[in-house]
Structure 1
C-alpha cells in the first residue's frame, strides 16, 4: 500500500521537476511509510526522490520500530550526539539528483526547520507538496475503510461508557476518565483529540474544557471523542439529557437532529460539498438559531481527525466514492446549553454509510 503511495508521489515529483521531497509531518510520514511516532524535538523525516530509493531519517532508538512497521528502504539512523543534517547532506551528495525544486510541507514547517532544509540544496526553490499528499489521502481504500469502521465502533463504545457513567454528583472529569480507562482496556493507546464531556452551560462552548464540575439534573451533557486505531481516527459527538430538560433545550436538540438527518440525505457522489453546509445551516437558521451555529458542517477524517475535505459552504468540490468525513451540526446557546450530533460518514457507490451507530434520538438519562 505504501509502495503505491510513494510511486504516486514520485510521479508528481517528475511532473513538477522536483529533485526530492522532504516529508516531516507525523500524519504524512505514517501515510507514506507505515511508521507512526511522536518525534518530539528530534528530526524524523522522509526523503523521496524521482528515481532513487526513498529513505527515512530517524533517531537510532526508532530504527527497530521502523523495520517492524514494514519499511524496506534505507534508514539513516543517528544518535543524540550526531548532527542528522550532516548525515542527510552526505547521503544527498552520494546520489545523482535532477530537478529544480525541493518539495516540502510548507504549512507544517517552522522557520528554523525551513532554513535547515533549504541549506541542504540552496540552489533549489521550495515547492509545497502538502496539497498533493492530502489529495492522495482523500480517497480511502478497502483496508483503510475497514480500520475506520473499527475505530468508529470504539467511538460508539466510548459514548456508551460515558452515558452509563452519568450519575448525580459525578464530575465531567470523572466521566472522561472512565471513558478513556475503558477504551485503554480495549487496547486504545491514543485518542484522536482531547475527549470532551461538557454539561449544562459548559455544553454551549463547542470546544469547551471539561472541569471538576458535577453533572446536575436538567442539564444537557455533550460527549465528543474519538480513538486512533492502527493510525486512523474516529470522531463522534452525542448529546443527552440528564433528567428532564426545558422545552427550549428540547427544541434545540430536535432542530440539530433534523438538520443532521437532512444533511446526511444529501451525502452521495456528485453532491457539492458546500451544499451540505448550506442545507444544515438553512434548517438551523429557519428555526431561529442561525447565530448559534458557528462552525462548518464537518471535516475530512482519516490518518488525522481533521483533513480534507473541508465541508464549508464555499467548497465547490464534489463528493467522491471513498471519501470519509463527519457531519456535525450544532447549536450552542449561552446559559441554556449546547447540542451537537456528529457521525462519521463514508461515500459509497449507492450513497453513504454511517460508520458510527450510537442512537441519536433524544435520550433522557434518569438521575
Structure 2
C-alpha cells in the first residue's frame, strides 16, 4: 500500500470515519504523484479503511495515472458517461455502512457535496484538511531535494532578470525574458505569476507588472518561483537601477537586517511567532512599522503557499522537515519597495537556506539605452 494513502486510512480508522474523498489537484498529486489539468471534469480518490483506494478520472487521463505508479482500483469515464452513477454502482455494497465521511472542507465544491449526499444519504461530513496538512507540513528528504533544485532555478531566474534590465525596458518585457529562458531550460510552470516591478509600482506588495518603463533611481523587485517535478520555489530580491537614493538605502538596510534576524529564529522547537516578531522589531525600531503590512512568511511545497502561516499570533512550534519562506518588506508610496525573501529548511541542528542569490545591495548599471 502507498505509504501516504496508508497513513490517511489510519487517520480515518482512528476516528471511526468510514471513508474519505480527496478532490484537490494538489492533494491527489501528493498522494499519488499523478498530476493533471481537470478543467470541469471530476477527479477524486475514495479512501476506505481496510479496502483498496479507488480513483475516479476521465478516460483520457488513465495513461498518465498508470505511469505515475497507481496500482489500485480505478473508474475511468468518457465525457458522455454519468460518472456519479458509475460511482454509485461501484460503491453500492458499502453505501449503507458509510456514515461518517471525510472531505477536504477547503477545496470540495458544493456540487460534489450534493452528489455525495445523493449517493450516500446517511453520511455526516467531516473535515480532512487537518490530516492532509499535517502529512504535508514536514517534507521528506526526496521532497527537499526537489525543492532545492527548484530554488536553484529561481536563483538563475533572478540573474536572467538582472541581465535583461536597461533604461526604458518595460516590466513585462523583463518578465517575458525570465520565463522564456526558464522554458528553454525545460521548466514548464512557474509557482505563481511572476512579479517584475519598477519604481513606484514596487511599493505595491502584490503589484501587477505592466508597461511601466525602467528609469534611473528605480527600485526593481523580482518575486518569482519555479516548479520542479511538482514542487515550488519562491524568491524575492530587490535591486536599484543606476542611482541609489538615500531613502532607498535606508529601507534596504533595514529589510536585510530584518531578514537576517528572522532567519536566526528559524530553529526546530522555536515558536513560529518569534520569526515574525524578530523581523517586525527591526523594521519597527527603524521607524517603518506601518510599511510592513504582511506576515513574515509561509510554508512551501507542492503549493507556493502552504501551512504553516508565519505570523505574530502563531504559537505552534517549528519542526524538523518544515520548509518556509522568510520575506520581510518595506513599501513606501512614491519611493518604492524593498523585499528580500528566502526559502528555508528547518533541520535538527540548524537551517538550510535554499535560495542562494546574494542579498547585499546591488546597483545595476546597464550599457543599453532604449532609443525612441
TM-score category of the 2 structures, normalised to the smaller one: over 0.9
* Secondary structure, aligned partner of 2:166: coil
Does the Cα contact within 8 Å between 1:19 and 1:97 map onto a contact in 2? Answer: no
Does the Cα contact within 8 Å between 1:232 and 1:304 map onto a contact in 2? Answer: yes
CA distance in 2 between counterparts of 1:324 and 1:18 reads 31
Q: Give the corresponding residue for 2:42.
A: 43
Q: Deviations over 1:231-287 (max 9, x none)?
A: 111100000001112101111111000000011011111110011101111111111
CA distance in 2 between counterparts of 1:335 and 1:117 reads 53
Q: Give the corresponding residue for 1:334.
A: 333
Q: Give the corresponding residue for 1:295.
A: 294
CA distance in 2 between counterparts of 1:72 and 1:230 reads 21
Offset at residue 169 of structure 1 (A): 1.2
Q: Give the corresponding residue for 1:63.
A: 62
CA distance in 1 between counterparts of 2:266 and 2:77 reads 48
User: For residues 62 and 216 of structure 1, do their structure 2 counterparts lie closer, same or farther at Cα, with a shift above 3 Å needed?
Assistant: same
Q: Give the corresponding residue for 2:369.
A: none
Does the Cα contact within 8 Å between 1:17 and 1:100 map onto a contact in 2? Answer: no
Q: Give the corresponding residue for 2:122.
A: 123
Q: Deviations over 1:8-39 (max 9, x none)?
A: 10001111111111100111010011111121
Q: Deviations over 1:37-80 (max 9, x none)?
A: 12111001111111111011110110001011111111210000
Does the Cα contact within 8 Å between 2:101 and 2:125 map onto a contact in 1? Answer: yes
Q: Give the corresponding residue for 1:9.
A: 8
Greater Cα shift, 12-21 or 106-115: 106-115
Q: Give the corresponding residue for 1:22.
A: 21
Offset at residue 95 of structure 1 (A): 4.4
Does the Cα contact within 8 Å between 1:343 and 1:356 map onto a contact in 2? Answer: yes
Q: Deviations over 1:123-145 (max 9, x none)?
A: 01000001110100011111001
Count residues in correspondence: 366
Does the Cα contact within 8 Å between 2:95 and 2:119 map onto a contact in 1? Answer: no
Counterparts of 1:256-275 in structure 2, within 5 Å, are 256-275=255-274
Unaligned runs of 5+ in 2: 367-372
* Secondary structure, aligned partner of 2:18: strand
CA distance in 2 between counterparts of 1:120 and 1:233 reads 37
CA distance in 2 between counterparts of 1:26 and 1:349 reads 31
Offset at residue 347 of structure 1 (A): 0.6
Offset at residue 96 of structure 1 (A): 7.6
CA distance in 2 between counterparts of 1:97 and 1:276 reads 50
Q: Give the corresponding residue for 1:139.
A: 138
Does the Cα contact within 8 Å between 1:17 and 1:99 map onto a contact in 2? Answer: no
Does the Cα contact within 8 Å between 1:23 and 1:46 map onto a contact in 2? Answer: yes
What value does the CA root-mean-square deviation take over the aligned residues? 1.2
Q: Give the corresponding residue for 2:240.
A: 241
* Secondary structure, aligned partner of 2:52: coil
Q: Give the corresponding residue for 2:213.
A: 214
Offset at residue 91 of structure 1 (A): 1.1
CA distance in 2 between counterparts of 1:198 and 1:83 reads 48
Q: Give the corresponding residue for 1:100.
A: 99
TM-score by length of 2: 0.96
CA distance in 2 between counterparts of 1:243 and 1:235 reads 26
CA distance in 2 between counterparts of 1:232 and 1:302 reads 5
Q: Are 2:280 and 1:281 aligned?
A: yes
Q: Deviations over 1:165-196 (max 9, x none)?
A: 11111110000000001111111111100000
Does the Cα contact within 8 Å between 2:171 and 2:198 map onto a contact in 1? Answer: yes
CA distance in 2 between counterparts of 1:96 and 1:52 reads 14
* Secondary structure, aligned partner of 1:30: helix
CA distance in 2 between counterparts of 1:106 and 1:115 reads 13
CA distance in 2 between counterparts of 1:38 and 1:118 reads 26
Does the Cα contact within 8 Å between 2:98 and 2:120 map onto a contact in 1? Answer: no
Q: Give the corresponding residue for 1:160.
A: 159
* Secondary structure, aligned partner of 2:80: coil
Q: Deviations over 1:195-224 (max 9, x none)?
A: 000010000101110001111110000000
* Secondary structure, aligned partner of 1:154: helix
Does the Cα contact within 8 Å between 2:217 and 2:240 map onto a contact in 1? Answer: yes
CA distance in 1 between counterparts of 2:96 and 2:27 reads 23
Offset at residue 152 of structure 1 (A): 0.5
CA distance in 1 between counterparts of 2:55 and 2:344 reads 34
Offset at residue 119 of structure 1 (A): 1.8
Counterparts of 1:302-321 in structure 2, within 5 Å, are 302-321=301-320
